[in-house]
Amino acid sequence: MSTCATCGAENTADSRFCKSCGAQIVAAAATHETRKTVTVLFIDAVSSTALGEQMDPESMRAVMTRYFDAMRETIEGHGGAVEKFIGDAVMAIFGVPTLHEDDALRACRAAVEIRQRLTELEPQIRADRGVAIEWRMGINTGPVVAGDVAAGQRMVTGDAVNVAARLEAAAAPGEILMGAETHALVHDAVSAEPLAALSLKGKSEPVPAWRLDGAKEAPGRHARPHEAPLVGRRRPLQLLQGAFQEAVEERVCHLFTVLGVAGVGKSRLVEEFLAGLGDRASVASGRCLAYGSGITYWPVAEALRSGVGIAEAATAEQAAAALSTVLIGEPEAERIAAATGSLIGLNADPHDQEELFWAVRKTFEALARGRPLVLVLDDTHWGEPTFLDLVEHIADWTRDAPILLIVMARSELLEKRPAWGGGKRSATTVQLEPLSEVESEELVGSLLGQADLTGAFRARVSSAAEGNPLFVEELLAKLIDDGFLQRAGDGWVSRGDLRELAIPSSIQALLAARLDGLGAEERSVIESGAVEGKVFHRGAVTALAAETSRDGVRDRLASLVRTELVRPEQSAFIGEEAYRFRHLLIRDAAYGAIAKQTRAELHERFAAWLEHIAADRLIEYEEIIAYHLEQAYRYRAELGPPDAAASELAKRAGILLAQASRRAEARGDLAATVDLMDRAADLLPRDADRRLLLAQVAPKLLDAGDGPRAESLLQEVVAESEAAGDERAVAWARLGLLSVQSSTQSTEASDDARVAEKLRDRLMELGDVEGAQQAELVAAWGLFQVGRVGESGARAQAVLDAVPGSGSLDSQARFQRDVAAVYGPMPADEVIQLIEDEDARGTQLPGAGLGASRMRAIQGRFAEAQVMLADSSQRFAELGNRLGLSLCHDLVGSAALLAGDIGEAVRNLQLSYDEQIALGDRSYASTTAGFVAEAYLEAQELDEAWQYAGIARDTSASDDIASQAGGRRIQARVLSARGQHAEAEALAREAVAIMGRTDYLEMHGDALVHLGKVLHAGGKVDEALTAAGEAAEFYGRKGATFLVERTRKLVGEWVGELG
């Protein structure tokens, strides 16, 4: 149906003329809803109902009209709009149809003036009519949806309106109450006193409120004409220049961190420094995205592309050629190119995190060989933990390459990394503080050049900016936009009464007001750009624009460049123009103004555009496409029950996020793996894809320190999959539960191995080879725990031979093979050779140094072991691998125990145990408890030794060989020291018997040595000598030359005692 604009009659949709009056039917223009922050003023009469009973309706109407006329005049005089009169109440809006940065203050001023005018009006009405009415008011600021008034839509809708009405109802006669957001915006410009929080109808929590007593003199208004000169940053600039000089002269990487609040001038400082370098250095830059979950390596990929000289629209062949050129002459250039190429979309091959870190660092080192490199990373406070680890890796491990690594971030970075930059040999951190009042005024003068402006004007702008250069620039730009600052020859003059223009107290209000003042077409263009992000493309804006507006997009963008809201930027795609918002806050303000329904539509259309433009480099942009589809769905879901189209959006986003989660797992990015898994699971329907994703990835929550949630999710998947008859997901989920519960509970490893083998066979029947290989590794780990170490290693090797040379299965199989080699029957020299061969092939795991260090320790090569452990500790710390770091402490303590440094042994082993308990990993912790007990035994602290030996036994499964034997042998020694020789011997023999069922050569020898010491203490020297001799044989088979020598020395001492 269509409505006649002339008479209001309803007509059929295809009618050209009204059937009632004959007028031509004009199609209704599309309405445009926006989200904005406005200030609502409610005014109501007190006891007017009783008064209405006493007065004639016409007399009552005349009285109320005089009051209402006075209110309307005052409201409109302050830039507000009366939305409606409701009986004896008035509702006014400040910010519709156009926002002002001082709308909250205007509402407060209007309320104070209305109160004064009504007070003055009262005697006149009393004299004329014999009555008087008291009034009360409520003011509140908050987000609303503003309708299109021209289309007859209601002005505003939102909770801010309701709260304003409730505040008015809570006010006493003659009072003006205002809410928290209003007070925050105007507190410097009004007199107000706080009240106890009010319990308002419809609000679940008490609402803070203030009583408005009066308004002060208003501050000023808005601007930014030209690029800001650098003011007040001489010292930070000198530090940057000095850091660059150091990097060049010493050929090192200098980490230079610039911290500060948004708009304080971080980017401007770095731009000034770069401009002064000229051609003395190459520059590579990248930025973290505000919504960068899962886009962990985006900033470094961006920096690699800019540094290597790859246009983002280049073909894969062109990009690969450019990268190869940079790496000419570099050892292992092909390996570096393969890993680096995976980050910039040249291939989809997975690489583990250690390999990626190494390759990225080597590429930047190669870039810096010929000419110093300045690597600039912006908005780093948004960076994922893995990305921050990579930045620190580059800073710590770059060698023989002059790199100045500039990191710009808000101070929130230090909340994520309190020790950022600390302890590094070449690092500087500067915190940019707000400019002083003098410096701010200097900046105002520099921006305006010759200007006929008073000192009060400069001071007003500087005061409002609070030392923030961006605020100064924006304030001046708005004053120019509004005509209060005008060109006069080569300078500027002020026009109008600036006293009525309050300088805003928040950048959000300032930017929102400036954007709201744009023309409708410019507004549409900048909002469309905001959907893409801080950097956006003309093609995307055109695709998002209404069909009738697409031809004018280029002109609108040129207009936005002239008004300095955006600036041209290097394009990411061939044939495309790119633009960058001058600051992320401008982008946020533009995006925040878009109605959620419109956001949903624009996100979906942008995803389609990006999918099309990315073409053969889709993998590189997959997570961004997923993000936009996700947003499109979530906004639809917020507005009502999802329909079929919205559900399809959710599924598409979920599938892409699931793929991204698995790729993150393959490269060892734990934080991204879990986050992407959660987001995908939240979007996918409860179908086979979702079940399999959770079954495969949820176990990673254990490594993230959330074992209970991992277990809960996996049990949920088992139940759902069984109900759905999804055998594959059931098998994967049960496999995940085995892995999780073997660490968090005292499960029997032999039972776990048998269950895993059954799951392996079933997965093979289902045709899931990858699942069967995963099950085989779980079974092999169970065999390791029960002491079938050689078999465990062989089965891990078989999986390793069958899987591709990268990915999570490869890494897991390699780890299990190496652990079996270290603790099983393979001689120490062969283990060392195995690990060295891995290193030569570039497939060595971060933890490989742990096994090699243990082999060197049992051969008495303690200095080498210490070096390897220090390197491993550093690598695990760089990667944020807490479990790996705890194992380093374990092995440092064990090596110190062998070397006789008992204090160091106790400290590191206790630290290792505490870390594992904190991680919720009872499997590792129970074994470590046995080593802690041994350290306390050697320190003659028998009570602690007994306690931790008991923990080893009591918290481990009955077939956990290392923990059960380790606890018994130390408890035997404690009993022996206390003179309980029979009980001690029995326990010691139990430990030996347990080890006799295994091929743990070193630990078998350890059990025999402890038995020998117990027998010796009990006077059974001959039997002690036999036990020690057997121990030496086991040590010899392992190639543990230090242990062999130490045991023979012990035998010699005991033989000497026999005379």
What is the SS3 assignment for 51? helix
Is 994:961 a contact under the CB 8 Å cutoff? yes
Residue 402 shares a structural domain with residue 279? yes
Residue 887 shares a structural domain with residue 996? no
Does 97 sit behind a cis peptide bond, omega within 30 degrees of 0 on the bond before it? Answer: yes
| pLDDT score for 218 | 41
What is the SS3 assignment for 287? strand
d(Cα 434, Cα 260) in Å, to the nearest integer? 9
Report CA Rg, the chain. 37
Helical pair 507-516 and 103-129, crossing angle rounded to 10 deg = 80
Residue 4 shares a structural domain with residue 41? no
144 found inside a domain:
yes
Name the domain count of the chain: 7
- For 622-672, give the DSSP string: HHHHHHHHHHHHHHHHHHSS--HHHHHHHHHHHHHHHHHHHHHHHTT-HHH
Say which CATH number the domain at 301 has: 3.40.50.300
| pLDDT score for 85 | 73
549 found inside a domain:
no
Residue 321 shares a structural domain with residue 396? yes
Residue 10 shares a structural domain with residue 75? no
For residue 387, give the H/E element and its range.
helix 385-397
Among residues 939, 956, 973, the one where a domain terminates is 956
For residue 44, give the H/E element and its range.
strand 34-46
775 found inside a domain:
no
575 found inside a domain:
no
Residue 380 shares a structural domain with residue 458? no
End-to-end C-alpha distance for the chain, whole angstroms: 117
556 backbone φψ class: left, alpha, beta (φ>0; ψ -120 to 50): alpha
d(Cα 636, Cα 101) in Å, to the nearest integer? 30
584 found inside a domain:
no
Helical pair 942-954 and 961-977, crossing angle rounded to 10 deg = 150
| pLDDT score for 224 | 38
| pLDDT score for 587 | 87
Residue 256 shares a structural domain with residue 300? yes
> What does pTM read for this prediction?
0.69
d(Cα 977, Cα 951) in Å, to the nearest integer? 20
865 found inside a domain:
yes
Residue 206 shares a structural domain with residue 72? yes
Range of the domain at 347: 234-431
d(Cα 312, Cα 617) in Å, to the nearest integer? 10
d(Cα 236, Cα 738) in Å, to the nearest integer? 55
Class of residue 804 by CB neighbours under 10 A (exposed 0-12, middle 13-18, buried 19+): exposed
CA angle 721, 723, 724 (to 5 degrees): 65
Residue 183 shares a structural domain with residue 79? yes
Residue 1 shares a structural domain with residue 46? no
Say which CATH number the domain at 913 has: 1.25.40.10
655 found inside a domain:
yes
Residue 13 shares a structural domain with residue 82? no
Among residues 482, 505, 528, the one where a domain terminates is 505
Can you read off the two tokens belonging to residue 865?
Answer: 């072991």
Q: What is the mean pLDDT of each run of 10 residues along the chain (1059 residues)?
A: 46 58 46 83 75 66 82 89 80 88 90 91 78 87 78 72 92 94 87 92 90 72 52 93 95 94 85 93 87 72 91 84 91 92 85 92 93 94 90 94 94 85 90 86 77 66 70 74 72 63 54 80 92 92 84 90 84 84 80 91 94 84 93 94 93 93 79 90 94 92 83 95 95 94 85 93 94 94 92 94 79 88 94 85 68 92 91 75 86 94 96 90 92 96 96 92 95 96 96 94 96 95 94 95 96 86
Question: Up-side HSE of residue 718: CA atoms within 13 Å toward CB?
Answer: 13
Say which CATH number the domain at 124 has: 3.30.70.1230
d(Cα 967, Cα 950) in Å, to the nearest integer? 6
Can you read off the two tokens belonging to residue 11?
Answer: 């007509």
| pLDDT score for 546 | 78
229 found inside a domain:
no
d(Cα 89, Cα 164) in Å, to the nearest integer? 12
**1022-1031 pLDDT, tens per residue?**
999 999 999 9
Is 223:375 a contact under the CB 8 Å cutoff? no
Residue 263 shares a structural domain with residue 352? yes
Residues in the chain: 1059
DSSP assignment letter at 81: E
Among residues 367, 401, 431, the one where a domain terminates is 431
DSSP assignment letter at 436: P
Residues in CB range of 416: below 8 A, 6 or more apart: 381, 385, 388
DSSP assignment letter at 250: H
